[in-house]
Amino acid sequence: MRFPILAAALLCAPVATALPADCRDKGAGCTLAETAAQAGFWIGAAIDAPPEPAAEAIYPAQFNSVTAENAHKWGPLSDGLGRYDFSRGDQVVAFAEANGARVRGHTLFWGRGPLPADLAGQIAAAPDPAGRAREILVEHVGAVVGHYAGRIHSWDVVNEPLDFFTGNPDPNIMFRQLGIDYIGEAFRAAHAADPGAQLFLNEFFQDYQGEKARAFLSLAADLLAEGVPIHGVGIQGHISPGPDQLMPPDPAAFQAFLAELAALGLAVEITELDVSIFFFRGAADPLAEQARVYGELVGACIAVPACQGVTLWGIEDGDTWLDRTFPSSVVAPNRPLLFDEDLEPKPAWFATRDAIAGRIVPEPGTGALVLIGIAILGGRHRERGRETG
Ligand code: XIL
């Protein structure tokens, strides 16, 4: 059964609040979170467990959404099959709740990510390896989603289902046992454990018109056609140097891809955005170029109504996985985020905020109020004119 996206959007969308400032006005001094609240948009960041000082300093003013950078992945949660330590994951969720932010759960199954050490051995040793793989996957998804039921707004159920470059499936341990059906199994188990959670398929792309992007569209369409409870798709959005060639994309192609996904009836989010400064090293003003790319990517999301949020993969430039992870670590500092090491907003912060402001719809009656205001001021002006004239 398909998830009623519209009903979910009405129930779960960030509430547009009437703040004194109109965040469409760049001079109003709105923060990211204030702008996002008026736009009915999620703006988030990946944080650690326990939350780092930068998170404590910047929430809730700047972000209304939280993702655990690692704490909800299978390996960090579970050092052995069926054994869970939720303490770090719980810290992230409690931090979000204390700051009035929603949680994007990341991620229930990631074939390239950290997995319990005994997973492969347990499957291999079972008399029916495929049956055991299915059982383990369903139990894991049920345990984690069940633990957080009602507290996690959306889950990346499966992360990176496709090969690095081609449209082939990622040949991970679950695919090898179950074929592509492992994806539907994971989504069904998640839906059973928390029917209110939005369930996402998350992926990265080198370009948004190539074979991999087409394959992802087909995969999402197939899952929908099979009645799998999938509600959204996440586009990671890492822009970083390395063999996976994650270059700044053509903005029109990026937006067209988001629109194609939305046309399937799915919600869309940019889930792991960071933009390495490496690509602009020859430019006169690299930070301005970086801001341009941020404006293009966030602007593309804003232009597609079903695109409901953007998550940055970190908070400040002094603490980014790109500087810690080969090969992008070779060109560190990547300075890929919205705040510098002193938590000062960068040009990319302004570009992001201004792009989000493009989603703000004037409150009903605002136009009439403005007209009344103009009429009153005009009247006073005329009276003053009579007095002085
Ligand atoms: C990364 C984390 O940021 C690192 O701290 C960790 O060492 C590896 O994973 N795509 C994803 C994220 O979906 O989960 C990854 O996060 C970055 C790439």
Q: What is the pLDDT of residues 221-277, one digit of tens each?
A: 999 999 999 999 999 999 999 888 899 999 999 999 999 999 999 999 999 999 999
What would the pLDDT profile of 302-337 be if each residue is shown by its tens digit? 999 999 999 999 999 999 999 999 999 999 999 999
What would the pLDDT profile of 364-375 be if each residue is shown by its tens digit? 765 544 444 444
Q: In the chain, what percentage of residues exceed pLDDT 70?
A: 88
Arithmetic mean of pLDDT over the chain = 91
Average pLDDT over residues 296-300: 98
Residue-level pLDDT at 376: 43
CB 276 within 8 A of CB 334: yes
Residue-level pLDDT at 362: 86
For the record, the structure tokens of 228 come out as 């799998």
Atom of ligand 1 nearest to the CA of 238: 18
Beta carbon of 74 within 6 Å of any ligand 1 atom:
no
- Residue whose C-alpha is closest to residue 75's, from 61, 85, 62, 60: 85
Q: Is 160 a catalytic residue?
A: yes
Beta carbon of 271 within 6 Å of any ligand 1 atom:
no
Residue-level pLDDT at 91: 98
- Residue whose C-alpha is closest to residue 208's, from 276, 263, 258, 158: 258
54, pLDDT greater than 50: yes
Average pLDDT over residues 117-140: 98
**CB neighbour list of residue 318: distance below 8 Å, 6 or more residues apart:** 340, 341
Q: How far apart are the first and last CA of the chain?
A: 73
Residue-level pLDDT at 226: 98
Residue-level pLDDT at 13: 52
- For ligand 1, atom 9: residue with the closest CA: 70
Residue-level pLDDT at 66: 98
Instruction: Tell me the backbone φ, ψ of residue 8, rounded to 5 degrees.
Output: -65, -40
What Cα–Cα distance (Å) separates residue 257 from each residue in 207, 270, 375? 10, 12, 46
Beta carbon of 185 within 6 Å of any ligand 1 atom:
no
Task: Tell how far the Cα of 70 is from the centroid of ligand 1, in angstroms.
Answer: 7
Beta carbon of 236 within 6 Å of any ligand 1 atom:
yes
Choose, from 69, 260, 272, 289, the residue flagged as catalytic.
Answer: 272
Q: Please name the amino acid found at residue 292.
A: R
Residue-level pLDDT at 185: 98
Strand partners, 345: 339
Q: Which residue intervals of 241-365 are DSSP H helices?
A: 251-263, 286-303, 321-324, 347-357
Beta carbon of 278 within 6 Å of any ligand 1 atom:
no
Please give the radius of gyration of the chain, using alpha carbons only, rounded to the nearest integer: 23
What would the pLDDT profile of 186-236 be if each residue is shown by its tens digit? 999 999 999 999 999 999 999 999 999 999 999 999 999 999 999 999 999
d(CA 68, CA 244): 24
d(CA 209, CA 307): 18
Choose, from 160, 185, 203, 289, the residue flagged as catalytic.
Answer: 160
Instruction: Tell me the backbone φ, ψ of residue 34, rounded to 5 degrees.
Output: -65, -45
Q: Please name the amino acid found at residue 257.
A: F
Beta carbon of 159 within 6 Å of any ligand 1 atom:
yes
d(CA 68, CA 314): 10
Average pLDDT over residues 151-161: 98
**CB neighbour list of residue 127: distance below 8 Å, 6 or more residues apart:** none
- For ligand 1, atom 16: residue with the closest CA: 69
Q: pLDDT confidence of 383, banded at 50, 70, 90?
A: very low
Atom of ligand 1 nearest to the CA of 107: 14
